[in-house]
Amino acid sequence: MMEILIAAAVGLLLSMFGTPLAIRLFSRRGYGQSIREEGPSGHHDKRGTPTMGGTVIVIAALLGFACAHLYSGTPPTPSASLVLFLMTGLGAVGFLDDFIKIYKQRSLGLRSGAKALGQLVVGAVFAILVTRFPNAYLVTPADTRLSFLRDFGPSIGIVGFTIWVLIMIVGFSNAVNLTDGLDGLASGATGVVLASYVLIGNWQLRNNCSTQLGPNCYWVRDPLDLAVVAAAVLGALLGFLWWNAPPAKIFMGDTGSLALGGVIAGLAITTRTQLLLIILAGMCVVITLSVIIQVGSFKMTGKRVFRMAPLQHHFELSGWAETTIVVRFWLIAALCAAAGLGLFYVEWMPKQ
């Protein structure tokens, strides 16, 4: 438990005090945000706000995790290392995207094909390695089965599992990216998911089959270290949110949104709660669906369902204040996470 607290505290402090340094550095170098001309008119005032703040989140989280292991004197586990690799790799893809936007002073960075290729390469490495590294009980970081509250059903095979993992990684990294449209929105929406995985990892540790064999125990390889990862990223995200809350002094950019989407997907895969993530990250899923509905409707009928997609911009154009949208969406995100945690714990309720 102390490792979880240390990871969160170090990540929080490094991000809280490191973000102002990043703001000054990025401002001096002109690393400012470009704004889409077709976007809401209120966003033009944000032009030039420093971006790529996700670098602070990633670095603070990695250092927070490292400090937790320095305290415990134990090496990082394969599960945690793979999730951090996924976060860092996708963050690097996002960094390239952000840098191109800044260098060319346009709202579009990497071409969609190049960006997707980067996500797929990082995701494929993760998918291949996550079924390796068995422990003494032959439990690997992930199994080639689908999971909800735990693994279920037959194996879908290594090829099917790799495809499924890639869908999850690309889907959720893009979902957080789409959610990152208003000051602090993505930070709050993913923060509650990370907090959920701190609790899930801790619960799986206390009811792990390797230490407490029972009918409802969990065959999860490294639950404590996965909780430490979630805590380190959560702490770093909260420190960043202090400066990213409306009105934002810095944006996380694709560096942060892709990294955060990757880390929650990685945690879902390694804690064997893949389908549960759809509920835990319900706010991000709804925002992504709004884009799919908007594009599909326009292509098929020539009409738009929303005034603008993603969904948060629809409410902006409907006259809602930005802070009102952010706070209400945070509340919805918290309710989704609470519903997901409720489903996770309901399995342990006494059956009459």
Q: Would you state the pLDDT for residue 346?
A: 87
Closest of 232, 288, 220 to residue 260, by C-alpha: 232
How long a stretch of residues is the chain? 352
- As annotated, the binding site includes 177, 254
Q: Would you state the pLDDT for residue 91?
A: 96
Alpha carbon distance 327, 130 (integer Å):
36
Place of tokens 């006494």: 350
- As annotated, the binding site for Mg(2+) includes 177, 254
Local mean pLDDT, 10-residue blocks, the chain (352 residues): 95 96 85 58 63 94 97 96 98 91 68 89 96 93 95 94 97 95 93 98 92 85 97 98 91 94 98 97 96 93 90 91 94 97 83 52
Q: Would you state the pLDDT for residue 202?
A: 95
Q: Would you state the pLDDT for residue 107?
A: 57
Domain boundaries, the chain: 1-348
Exposed e or buried b per residue across 169-183, where buried means at least 16 C-beta atoms within 10 angstroms of its C-beta: bbbbbbbbbbbbbbb
What is the identity of the amino acid at 183? D
Q: Would you state the pLDDT for residue 240?
A: 96
